Amino acid sequence: MPATPLPLLLEPEMLEPLLADPRLLLVDLSRAEIHAQYHIPGAVHLEYGRIVRMAPPVGGLLPDEAQLSEVLSAIGLTPERHVVAYDDEGGGKACRLLWTLEAIGHTRYSLLNGGLHAWANEGHELTQQPTRAIPSSYTARYADTEVVADTAYIRSHLGDTTHALLDARSAMEYRGLQRHAARGGHIPGAVNFEWAEAMDQGRNLRLKPAADLRRQLEGLGITQDMTVTAYCQTHHRSAHTWFMLKWLGYRARGYAGSWSDWGNRDDTPVES
């Protein structure tokens, strides 16, 4: 790898000459059937369900440290390795992995911009050859990183003008017209920015240019001096939003459980 750290957002042409570097850990969070058909050479497959915990009706919670340690050891992660994550959907699953790594203090990571769409559509090498991960002994410990928001944190900042809430769900979910919890609507004060709005459909699902995204966020009243918490239904879509905010230089958090937590409680306020 280059002497300088890899950027947070990595372009396919920068990744290609690094594929054989053992200091890199390339992780594919695409669907298993897609990975079996084609993937980037050297990529290990990681099933998305292994990095989230369910406690019905709440989903998308952080796994416990023992489970996460087992998962990360199985793919060969060590503290020195730099993770490059991608998926086949524009980055939601990949970003959830990166948010989880941030939560345990592993900050050596990048998102492949555009993921499998950009890599495949722009003629980079693909393979069906499985990659055998060399297991490690990685110990995951959740660190005090200020990247995770919970219900208590959000409630304590409702109405706080130094904090903002960004709802990454669809407009129908935000307005309570499509409901996937006991209650519909959104957290009071939250503004709606559907996660796919950050993707450039004409550039293989890459993130839109930073200036364009900042303009969109400022139009919603989200300014650089705020701490922004992103949420969706289970912090899958909003993990992509969290990554976008981090890339743009915002202080950003993600709400594990998201609306599946807030909307299924009876002690949280709701707007629609």
Which of 147, 15, 29 has its CA nearest to residue 95?
Answer: 29
Angle at 145 between CA 140 and CA 151, to 5 degrees: 100
Contact 112, 86 (CB under 8 A): yes
CA gap 131, 85 in Å, rounded = 15
CB burial of 104-137 (b: ≥16 within 10 Å; e: otherwise) equals: bebebbbbbbbbbbbbbeeebeeeeeebebeebe
Q: Please pick, among 27, 199, 232, 252, the residue that the annotation labels catalytic.
A: 232
The residues pairing with 109 across neighbouring beta strands, listed in sequence order, are 83
Report whether 267 contacts 185 (CB < 8 A): no
Helices of type H across 125-248: 151-156, 171-174, 210-219, 237-247
What single-letter DSSP state applies at residue 42? T
Active site residue 232: yes
Q: How many residues does the chain have?
A: 272
CA–CA separation, 58 and 264 (whole Å): 8
Give catalytic residues, as residue numbers. Answer: 232
